[in-house]
Structure 1
Amino acid sequence: MIETSNDSLPTPEGVLALVRPGGARGLRAWDAADALLLDTAHDYLREQPDARVLVVDDAFGALGLGLARARPDLVADNATLASALRANRARNPGCPPVAAPSDWRAPPSGPYDLVLLRIPRQADYLGWLLRWLNGVLAAQGRLLAGGMIKHLPDRSVALFAEAVRTDTVLPARKKARVVVCRRGEARLADWPDTWKGYRLDDGLTFEGLPAVFSRDRLDQGTRRLLPWVARAVAALPPQARMLDLACGNGILGISALVRRPDLMATFVDVSSQALMSAGHNLARACPGVDAAFLHQDGLAGSEGPFELILLNPPFHDGGAVGDHIALRLLRQAAQRLAPGGRLLLVGNRHLGYHRSLRRWFSRVRQLDADPKFVVFEAGRS
């Protein structure tokens, strides 16, 4: 029996050493669903070695690298996959090269004989994915959809029944499940739930694609932050540089641009569907106003400096909950803030961001609070 460590994934092709770039200590880069998907896929590929393979929403490269000899195409909403693939291929020098992943702004085209899908936690996103996959799966192709049972979305059985034809539900293994499917008749063109949204009291409407956080309602943290955004942009000089970091549907940055269309705005998000949603909403709210949209995990390049940074940081990382993403974004924001600039942040009260802010900012002030959320302003001398 092969001995493995916590970061080692046994696969039919050998053991992969995998890390989770940018994650908190103790979070693993693979789980039992990855292992079960790989075992099932290799059984299929032994009979169909020339199959054209697609991997959808691989998290940190376990599936892409585990199937590298099959030369799969990869598409993922999350920008972290690209950096994870680079890091993990370097840790596994015997692994064949893997193609760079695409995202939903320019997805690959089929037909594919075999598709591996990590089942998302969001029910709407699963419904969207299954309908999109029906358009790229070959007539006799197979879809292997897998996830950890505790993370499967509500109504997942009904969602599969509505969209695809299920051949087999494999026995659970280490609390993971894989469903083997064929393509169904449902298509995105006939689905009414691709976009969902809401209207603000001032008449602005915001819509989001299925992978976007709080796409059909204004989340309470953003509601608490919005009045302070309006006050902050009123004090900015002409053509000041503004960053909406972890922008989601773009509500913070777009609300600023409605008041100050002269601002030089940048929207950053790890989700390609979030950026698509922000661009869609900007075009409707501010026709003719240009902005930069960056699909990346935080501030990875030479962006900035910015006179104003807006941030409602995520605290979910897949199935993990914590402040490790927010702390990384705060550190990056401090490095990109212009002299005299300000960061506006809303966060969950229990995460204690006031302590973290003081690590990187010399000026920290609480602006507002309720029992769940706190709004801070921070700057550097």
Structure 2
Amino acid sequence: MTTAVFDVPDGQLTLSRPGATSLRAWDAADELLVDAAFRRLDGIENPRVLVVDDQFGALTLGLQALDPLVVADSAVFRDALAYNARTNPRASVCSFVHSWLNPPEGPFDAVVLRIPRQSDYLAWLLHWINDVLVNDGVVIAGGMIKHLPDRSVDIFAQSVHTEDVCPAKKKARVIICRRGEVGLTAWQGAWKGYVLEGTGLSVEGLPAVFAREKLDIGTRLLLPHIREAVSGLAPEANVLDLACGNGVVGLSALLLRSDLALTFSDVSSQAVASARHNVSVALPNVRPVFEHVDGIPGTSSRFERIFLNPPFHEGGAVGDHIALRLFDQASRHLAPLGRLLVVGNRHLGYHRSLHRFFPQVRQLDASPKFVIFEAGLN
């Protein structure tokens, strides 16, 4: 974990990024956002400020003098903020981090926003902000230029009133906006989905959810193996849909065996909300557990089956580092005779990675791009 000093207008912060990484816990966009927020809000008495999708605490701690509320989609942020707050004794931050499962209530005088990479999610955020920003409030949005989503200029123009596009600095940019007229309830793009083949059920997802508009080809390869995986389980057997996304894998298991004790978990609160929505529509009398956590929930339960389609990118980092962490967690939360079913891109070599954590690994299926593995402890 790399620790470095982040200079802010009222002092310095020592920040670290979780995980075995050499990447810093902030970038030039964070620097510009903190500076722009202090300049724009100077002289305003007790402004009510909201920080949206801070990454590792640089914005929240950098703006601590403004006592901001915080909302973040990723569960990684909660742990990162808690860690960095502990390592900065002067830090005084809010004790509660909101997510999209429990969003904060407006109105706000200012919203400081890290611009996400996904176009639809950016549009969703700006329309949501229109609902919580005061009439003369300000949106201070910023990001690294290479990570701005496609059509970001059009998205801002269609959603809010752009007041100023600040000059680029250190390959980052800040945009100053005023609220637009259209809120989230009047926007048509919040939910998108597809019909799950063979069921007639519509599966939907919010904008931050992977593959919300169509079934991804890796999951398509995995789904036919769900029936055999759950058919012999005892009633109330513990099953986990890990990194669940819109919940299509766990939902498929419940459609076959509604008596299973299913847990859905994902690092994205919009994914958890989407999975919960889809299960409630398809199986309103079933009561699974939904967890917004980074990985496997902190529970003593052991799972008879774990289903996993691990992401292979996190921010700017691409590779198998997320999968390796999830394989390790799965090996420690799998029942003695339990099984992990995992889908992965061929080039990532999961057959080698899985053997680091599981003595039993076999290939169940394959396509030109993806492979399905089953792993167990015995």
**TM value normalised by structure 1:** 0.96
2:192/2:204 contact within 8 Å kept: yes
Partner-residue secondary structure (3-state), 2:239: strand
**How far is the alpha carbon of 1:156 from its aligned partner?**
0.5
1:27 and 2:23 are equivalent in the alignment: yes
- Rounded to whole Å, the distance in 2 between the matches of 1:24 and 1:269 is 21
Output one character per residue of 1:180-232: Cα deviation in whole Å (capped at 9) or x when no partner.
00001011111111110011220232100111111001111101111111221
Partner-residue secondary structure (3-state), 1:360: coil
1:293 and 2:305 are equivalent in the alignment: no
When structure 1 is superposed on structure 2, of 32-41 and 367-376 the one drifting more is 367-376
Q: How does 1:107-118 map to 2 (within 5 A)?
A: 107-118=103-114
Partner-residue secondary structure (3-state), 2:299: coil
1:126 and 2:110 are equivalent in the alignment: no
Matched residue, 2:242 = 245
**How far is the alpha carbon of 1:256 from its aligned partner?**
0.4
**How far is the alpha carbon of 1:43 from its aligned partner?**
1.0
- Rounded to whole Å, the distance in 1 between the matches of 2:297 and 2:334 is 14
Output one character per residue of 1:302-354: Cα deviation in whole Å (capped at 9) or x when no partner.
25200000000111111221211111111001100001100000011111111
CA 1:322–1:24 in structure 2 vs 1: closer, same or farther (change >3 Å)?
A: farther
1:77 corresponds, among 73, 80, 88, to: 73
- Rounded to whole Å, the distance in 2 between the matches of 1:315 and 1:74 is 27
- Rounded to whole Å, the distance in 2 between the matches of 1:193 and 1:11 is 37
CA RMSD, 1 decimal: 1.3
- Rounded to whole Å, the distance in 2 between the matches of 1:46 and 1:339 is 60
- Rounded to whole Å, the distance in 2 between the matches of 1:69 and 1:368 is 55
Partner-residue secondary structure (3-state), 1:135: helix
2:141 corresponds, among 127, 145, 152, to: 145
Output one character per residue of 1:121-142: Cα deviation in whole Å (capped at 9) or x when no partner.
1111111100000111111111
- Rounded to whole Å, the distance in 2 between the matches of 1:285 and 1:231 is 21
- Rounded to whole Å, the distance in 2 between the matches of 1:97 and 1:115 is 16
- Rounded to whole Å, the distance in 2 between the matches of 1:313 and 1:341 is 19
- Rounded to whole Å, the distance in 1 between the matches of 2:130 and 2:189 is 16
**How far is the alpha carbon of 1:6 from its aligned partner?**
6.5
Partner-residue secondary structure (3-state), 1:190: coil
- Rounded to whole Å, the distance in 2 between the matches of 1:107 and 1:44 is 25
Gap regions ≥5 residues in structure 1: none
Partner-residue secondary structure (3-state), 2:42: helix
CA 1:6–1:301 in structure 2 vs 1: closer, same or farther (change >3 Å)?
A: closer
1:353 and 2:358 are equivalent in the alignment: no
**How far is the alpha carbon of 1:235 from its aligned partner?**
2.2
- Rounded to whole Å, the distance in 2 between the matches of 1:195 and 1:159 is 17
Matched residue, 1:197 = 193
- Rounded to whole Å, the distance in 1 between the matches of 2:225 and 2:4 is 43
2:29/2:142 contact within 8 Å kept: yes
- Rounded to whole Å, the distance in 1 between the matches of 2:163 and 2:139 is 10
- Aligned-partner residue type, residue 95 of structure 1: A
- Rounded to whole Å, the distance in 1 between the matches of 2:85 and 2:185 is 37
The number of residues matched between the two structures is 376
- Rounded to whole Å, the distance in 2 between the matches of 1:20 and 1:34 is 14
CA 1:155–1:303 in structure 2 vs 1: closer, same or farther (change >3 Å)?
A: farther
1:243/1:267 contact within 8 Å kept: yes
When structure 1 is superposed on structure 2, of 278-287 and 89-98 the one drifting more is 89-98
Partner-residue secondary structure (3-state), 2:365: strand
- Aligned-partner residue type, residue 52 of structure 1: R
Matched residue, 1:46 = 42
1:93 and 2:79 are equivalent in the alignment: no
Matched residue, 2:316 = 319
Q: How does 1:365-380 map to 2 (within 5 A)?
A: 365-380=362-377
1:186 and 2:172 are equivalent in the alignment: no
- Rounded to whole Å, the distance in 1 between the matches of 2:4 and 2:249 is 38
Matched residue, 2:224 = 227
1:162/1:186 contact within 8 Å kept: no
CA 1:49–1:354 in structure 2 vs 1: closer, same or farther (change >3 Å)?
A: farther
- Rounded to whole Å, the distance in 1 between the matches of 2:301 and 2:223 is 22
1:212 and 2:209 are equivalent in the alignment: yes
**How far is the alpha carbon of 1:15 from its aligned partner?**
2.0
Matched residue, 1:68 = 64
**How far is the alpha carbon of 1:49 from its aligned partner?**
4.5
- Aligned-partner residue type, residue 293 of structure 2: Q
When structure 1 is superposed on structure 2, of 44-53 and 261-270 the one drifting more is 44-53
- Rounded to whole Å, the distance in 2 between the matches of 1:205 and 1:78 is 25
**How far is the alpha carbon of 1:300 from its aligned partner?**
4.5
When structure 1 is superposed on structure 2, of 253-262 and 348-357 the one drifting more is 348-357
1:258 and 2:255 are equivalent in the alignment: yes
1:65/1:98 contact within 8 Å kept: no
1:72/1:99 contact within 8 Å kept: no
CA 1:372–1:303 in structure 2 vs 1: closer, same or farther (change >3 Å)?
A: farther
Matched residue, 2:156 = 160
Q: Which runs of 4 or more aligned residues in structure 1 lie more than 4 Å from their structure 2 counterparts after TM superposition?
A: none
2:171 corresponds, among 152, 171, 175, to: 175
Identity of aligned residues (%): 59
Matched residue, 1:279 = 276
- Aligned-partner residue type, residue 241 of structure 2: D
**How far is the alpha carbon of 1:26 from its aligned partner?**
1.5
1:362 and 2:359 are equivalent in the alignment: yes
- Aligned-partner residue type, residue 173 of structure 2: R
